[in-house]
Amino acid sequence: MKKISSEQIIDALQKAVIRANVSLDANIIAMLRNAIKKEENELALKILNILLENAEISLSRNTPLCQDTGVAVLFVTIGSNVSIKGMPLEKAINEGIKEGYEKGFLRKSIVSSPIKRINTNTNTPTIIHYNYTEGEEFIIDLLIKGGGCENKSALKMLKPSDGINGINDFVIDTVKCAGAAACPPFFIGIGLGGNFEKCALLAKKALLRDVGAFNSKEYLKSMEVELLSKINKLSIGPMGVSGKTTAFSVAIEEAPCHIASLPVAVNIDCHSHRHRRIVF
């Protein structure tokens, strides 16, 4: 039996939320550099160079990449031989998030009710999804998700006869509608199948994939490659000023579904893609 204390969880999470908000992943910096090499539009180039400089300033001044320090979305994978000591897991997670947002001078962006709209001033309650496995595995995937790109995400229940063309059209339309406001170049998570709510969760989960990696299933990989190429041909470009790079990656996750259904969800993430994996 693997024993983990709630203090360990709190400490790891508060450090991870600060790190995720302040330090741009080295792979994304490489993607920005690559986009700069390819870009011909002067204004798009200027924006990409500012984004690189922004990442440097964030590290040196210890300030967030973006003022929207987001909602912390957590995917917790917990094995049957893991025992949490101290606080209940959910309480410990919220405590870690709260501490991180306070210590890291991060913005608190959660309101207690969508109608009353009073800020909780802690950036909690946070959003947690659990996945139960065997053994001693205990992993927390942390995604810092901004509101601007989340607002431009969409879900549609297609007909099975709509097929791959229908899926591609819906993804392209969603990206066009997201345009400049959702902060391109994007990272795009796509969920296919499941049902209404499962499909949305798959799209979010797709954003946890290592940046630039493709699905191991060949037919999904070829869809990812085709969609990424189609999206970049839209020439929306960095911050919508037109340019070569509109998306850095497209990741698809699928699940079995009803004979009548073809659910598709598109979760857009901005260029400030902030993901950390904590392995205990």
Partner 1 sequence: MKTIKLDLPLAEKQIIQIRSGDFVELSGFVYTMRDAAHKRISEMIEKGETLPFELKDSSIYYVGPTPSPDNAFPFGAAGPTTSDRMDTYAPIMLSNGVKIMIGKGKRSSNIVKLIEKHNALYLATIGGAGSFLAKKIISSKNIAFKDLGTEAIQLIEIKDFPCIVINDSHGNDFYRGLSAIAP
Interacting residue with partner 1 among 9, 145, 272, 278 (CB under 8 A): 272
Does position 229 interact with partner 1 (CB under 8 A)? The reply is: no
Tell me if 242 contacts partner 1 by CB under 8 A. Answer: yes
Nearest to residue 232, comparing CAs of 172, 174, 157? 172
Q: What is the enclosing helix (H) or strand (E) of 172?
A: helix 163-178
Please pick, from the candidates 271, 275, 276, 278, the single residue that binds partner 1 as defined by CB under 8 A. Answer: 271
CA distances from 132 to 15, 83, 135, 172 (A): 24, 13, 10, 34
Structure token pair of residue 5: 């204390």
CB of 223 to partner 1, least distance (A): 21
| Residue 236 touching partner 1 (CB under 8 A) | yes
Would you count residue 62 as binding partner 1 (CB under 8 A)? yes
Q: Which two tokens stand for residue 231?
A: 């999206």
Decide whether 8 or 271 has the Cβ nearer to partner 1.
271
**Cβ 51 to partner 1 shortest distance, Å:** 6
Out of 66, 74, 199, 227, name the contact with partner 1 by CB under 8 A.
Answer: 66
Q: Shortest distance, CB of residue 204 to partner 1, whole angstroms? A: 20
**Spatial contact of 229 and 244, defined as CB atoms under 8 Å apart:** no
Q: What is the 3-state secondary structure (H, E, C) of 132-161?
A: EECCCCEEEEEEEECHHHHHCCEEEEECHH
Residues 73-102 that bind partner 1 (CB under 8 A): none
Q: Does 47 bind partner 1 (CB under 8 A)?
A: yes
Rg (CA), the chain: 19
- Return the residue matching tokens 């003022």: 67
Q: How far is CA 213 from CA 36, 129, 199, 209, in A?
A: 21, 23, 20, 7
Residue with smaller CB distance to partner 1, 66 or 200: 66
Quick check: 61 binds partner 1 (CB under 8 A)?
A: yes
Residue 226 found at the interface with partner 1 (CB under 8 A): no
- Shortest separation between residue 2's beta carbon and partner 1, angstroms: 36
Applying CB under 8 A, what is the total number of residues that bind partner 1? 50
Q: At what angle do helices 42-61 and 26-38 cross, to 10 degrees?
A: 160
Q: Which is nearer to partner 1, 44 or 140 (CB)?
A: 44
194 binds partner 1 (CB under 8 A): no
- Of the candidates 276, 90, 270, 114, the one whose C-alpha atom is nearest the C-alpha of residue 98 is 90
Q: Residue 193: left (phi > 0), alpha (psi -120 to 50), or beta?
A: left
Options 12, 17, 68, 76; binder of partner 1; rule CB under 8 A: 68
Is 109 near partner 1 (CB under 8 A)?
A: yes
Whether residue 72 contacts residue 123, with contact meaning beta carbons closer than 8 Å, is answered with yes
Residue selected from 15, 166, 179, 220 as contacting partner 1 according to rule CB under 8 A: 179
Residue 77 burial (CB count, 10 A): 17
Provide the terminal-to-terminal Cα distance of the chain, rounded to the nearest Å: 13
Contact residues for partner 1 (CB under 8 A)?
A: 42-43, 46-47, 50-51, 53-54, 57-58, 61-69, 105-109, 117, 119, 121, 147-148, 151, 173, 176-177, 179-183, 234-237, 239-242, 246, 270-272
